[in-house]
Structure 1
C-alpha cells in the first residue's frame, strides 16, 4: 500500500526507551513530504512534494492507475523531448514516406526543439502547448498552415509518448489552432513556364515540362525512368520517385498512375535523352556526376531560375503541378480524370484544391431541364 513520509521529522528512541519525534537532518531543506507507492512490478517508487495533501493525492492516483492497468512510471517522463524524438520516435517511423519524415524533422529542428527540446517530456503541459501555438501564430513569417503542421508534429510526438507509456495524457489535445483561410490557387502564367524552362540548368529543363505538362511532383519527375515513357502510347507510367538521390517506390496506390502526355512533352524527353546520359537504373534525369539528382541540388537550380526570371520569391516546383491541373480544367477534362492524373486519393482532395477554378455561374446548365421535359415523349 502507498504511504506518505515526513522527511523533516523522524521518530527516534529516547533514553527512557520511548519513541518521540525529532527533527531530521533534512529539516527545512527541500520538499517535505515523500509519496511512496508500489509499481506493477512490485518495486517501491517515490516522489517528493512540498505539501502533504499533494503527496497523498499522488499516492492515491498511482494506486488507482495500477489497479486500472493504466499505470505509467513518472520517472519515464524525465527523458528530454529531443532525446525521445531522436532515439525512439523517429526510428519508429518506418511506415511514412521519406518526404513526410523530412517534414517532421524540419519542424522539429526549427520550431519544436527550440521550444521544448531540452524539456522533460513529462513536464510539457497543455498551457505550454497553447503558448507554443500563440508564439508561432504571432510570427508574421509563418502561415496558418505552417503553424498547423508544426503543432501537428509536436502533437504526434507527444501521442507517441503516451503510447510508449512515457506520459499518461497528451498535453496537445484540445488545443485550438488558427483558422485556415480558403485555399486559392493562382496558376503560373504560360509565359512563366516557358521562361523557367529556358532559365533553369539545361539538364533540369525536362523537369519543368514534366511538372507543367504531366503534373508530376518533384520526386516523381526526378525519379522517372526511361522504360516508363511509352512513346507509342503517349503516356508516362508513374511508379517511382527520387528521394535523397535514390529511387523508391511510391507509397500509395493513388500516386501510382498512368498520365497521358502531349507531343511537346515527348519531344522534350527525346531531346533530353540525346543530350544527357541517364542515371543508373535508366533514370531520365541525371546530375553532372551521372547519378540520380538530389532534391537539394535541384532546389538550388530552381531558386536561381526563379530569381533570374523574376518570379515571386517562394515560387515552387509544385506550382507547375497547379499549372497542369488548371490547364486540364480549362480544357473541360472530367474532374475524375483530373483526380487520377494528379494522383489524388479522392475527388474531395481535387475539389478542395482546385474547386475555385472550375466554371461556376448561374447560366451553366441552363436549358438542360427544358430540353428533357419539353421534348416529345
Structure 2
C-alpha cells in the first residue's frame, strides 16, 4: 500500500495533480484510487489496508450500485421460495422508496451518515414512520445479501441500529400511540350492531371475524375441513395471500386452534347449506362439473375471495348500515357534503384488523365487563402472536390492573388499622 503524488496534462493542455493510493485487493489485483488531497488518500490507505488484511475489502470498481444489489436480493428471495406477496412487497420498497433516492449509489460509498440522511429524506418526503422502518429493513436485507455475495464489506443499516442507545429506542416506542377503544378498537355496542346488521353471506363472515379474531388472510384461506363442530373450534392451518395463493400461516405460532362460542358453530352450520361450491374437473352422470365445498368464505364461484371485495362490499357497507360511521373528509380534511348540504358519512373502521383488535379486547376484559378475562399467554396463543412481547406491546394497557381505587382503599385501611 503506497500513496504518491501524480501529475498529468489534460487534453486541453491544463496541468493537473492529485494523490494516488496504490494497493492490491484481497484477490491480488492492483487497484488505484485518486484523491484531490493527500490526507484523504492517507485515510483511505489506512482503512483499505485493514480491510484487505481482514479479507473484506471491495474496491469501487468491483462494487455495484444499490439498484443492482436490490435486483440480486429479489432473485435470492425467489430462489429461496418466498411467497409471491413477500417478493412483491420487496419490489415495491425498491421501486417506490430505495431506487428513486439511492439506487445509483455504489455500495462501497454507503456509510452510517449516508443511511441516516436517507432515513431523514424518507421522512421529509412524507413516508410514515412505519413505512420508513420497513424500507430500512429491506435496505438492510439488500446489504446483507450483497455481503454474502462479496459485493459489500459492511452493512451500515445494521451498524446504525446497533449504535442507537436505549433512550432513542424508548423515544420510538413512545411515538407509538396506544390503541383506544372506540377509536382503533370497536366497542362492544358497535360489535353487536355489526352482528345485528349483517345478513346473507356477510353474517357468517362477520360473526366468525368478531369471535375468532382471525387475520383476513386466514379467513380467506379457511376451509370447511378446518372447522371442528364436535370440539367447537377452528384450526388455522393456512392463509391466502394478496394474490389469492395459499401458503402457511405467517409464523409457527400462527398455526393454532381457536375455541369458538355456539353462535359461530350454529351460524356456520346454516351457512354450509348455502355456501358457494367450486367446480372440479370431474363430471357427474349428466356430464356436468361436480361441485364441492371447499372454502368457508369464497366468492360466488367457490374460489378465494379478494380482500378488497370483503372490505368494499361487506365490511364498509355493513358499518354504514349499522350506524358505525365517521364524517367523510376531502384531501384537505374538510367534511364532504352532498348536494342537499348533508354531511356524507363513511365507515368508521377501514379494515378487518380493527375487529381483530376487538377480539383481543374481548379475551382480555374481565367477565364482569362481558369478556373472558384470559391470561396474557392464552391471549397470545389465541391471537397467533409469535411472542408474548408482541401481545403485551399491543394490548398490555387493556389488561385489568390489580391496583384500582377500591383495592387501594382496602389496602390502605388494612395498613393503617
Work out whether the TM-score is over 0.5.
yes
| Runs (5+) with no aligned partner, structure 2 | 281-292, 327-346, 366-370
Mean CA deviation greater in 285-294 or 349-358: 285-294
**Distance across 2 between alignment mates of 1:35 and 1:248:** 53
- Seen in structure 2, the aligned counterparts of structure 1 residues 321 and 134 have a Cα distance that, compared at 3 Å, is same
Pick from 61, 72, 77 the counterpart of residue 88 of structure 1.
72
Pick from 373, 376, 394 the counterpart of residue 353 of structure 1.
394
**Distance across 1 between alignment mates of 2:377 and 2:216:** 23
Q: Cα deviations across residues 291-332 of structure 1 (Å, max 9, x unaligned)?
A: 222335445446753784535666321111111111111221
Question: CA contact under 8 A between 1:7 and 1:32: conserved in structure 2?
Answer: yes
Shift of 1:366: 8.6
**Distance across 1 between alignment mates of 2:207 and 2:98:** 37
Map 1:309-348 onto structure 2 (within 5 A).
310=325, 315-330=350-365, 331=371, 332-348=373-389
Map 1:255-270 onto structure 2 (within 5 A).
255-270=254-269
| Runs (5+) with no aligned partner, structure 1 | 9-22, 372-377
Shift of 1:219: 0.9
**Distance across 1 between alignment mates of 2:236 and 2:42:** 63
Shift of 1:84: 1.8
Q: Secondary structure, in 3 states, of the residue corresponding to 2:63?
A: helix
Question: CA contact under 8 A between 2:63 and 2:108: conserved in structure 1?
Answer: yes
Shift of 1:98: 5.9
1:13 matched residue in structure 2: none
Shift of 1:253: 2.5
Shift of 1:225: 0.9
- Seen in structure 2, the aligned counterparts of structure 1 residues 218 and 188 have a Cα distance that, compared at 3 Å, is same
Query: Within the alignment, does 1:285 sit opposite 2:297 as a pair?
Result: yes
Shift of 1:345: 2.5
Q: Cα deviations across residues 159-205 of structure 1 (Å, max 9, x unaligned)?
A: 43344332323333336676233542232124544555687895455
1:253 matched residue in structure 2: 252
Shift of 1:113: 2.9
Pick from 74, 78, 92 the counterpart of residue 64 of structure 2.
78
1:164 matched residue in structure 2: 149
Q: If the length of structure 1 is used for normalisation, what is the TM-score?
A: 0.78
1:14 matched residue in structure 2: none
**Distance across 2 between alignment mates of 1:363 and 1:96:** 54
Map 1:1-377 onto structure 2 (within 5 A).
2=2, 4=4, 6-8=6-8, 23=9, 28=14, 32-79=18-65, 81-85=66-70, 87-93=71-77, 94=80, 101-138=87-124, 143-172=128-157, 173-174=159-160, 179-180=172-173, 181-185=175-179, 186=181, 187-193=185-191, 203=201, 205-243=203-241, 244-278=243-277, 282-301=294-313, 304-305=316-317, 308=320, 310=325, 315-330=350-365, 331=371, 332-360=373-401, 361-364=404-407
Shift of 1:31: 7.2
- Seen in structure 2, the aligned counterparts of structure 1 residues 284 and 134 have a Cα distance that, compared at 3 Å, is same
**Distance across 2 between alignment mates of 1:72 and 1:357:** 52
Q: Secondary structure, in 3 states, of the residue corresponding to 2:218?
A: helix
Shift of 1:352: 1.9
Aligned length, in residue pairs: 353
**Distance across 1 between alignment mates of 2:123 and 2:54:** 39
- Seen in structure 2, the aligned counterparts of structure 1 residues 306 and 203 have a Cα distance that, compared at 3 Å, is closer
- Seen in structure 2, the aligned counterparts of structure 1 residues 365 and 37 have a Cα distance that, compared at 3 Å, is same
**Distance across 1 between alignment mates of 2:155 and 2:209:** 40
**Distance across 2 between alignment mates of 1:84 and 1:132:** 17
**Distance across 2 between alignment mates of 1:103 and 1:92:** 14
Question: CA contact under 8 A between 2:229 and 2:265: conserved in structure 1?
Answer: yes
Question: CA contact under 8 A between 2:3 and 2:19: conserved in structure 1?
Answer: no
- Seen in structure 2, the aligned counterparts of structure 1 residues 136 and 39 have a Cα distance that, compared at 3 Å, is closer
- Seen in structure 2, the aligned counterparts of structure 1 residues 263 and 72 have a Cα distance that, compared at 3 Å, is same
1:16 matched residue in structure 2: none
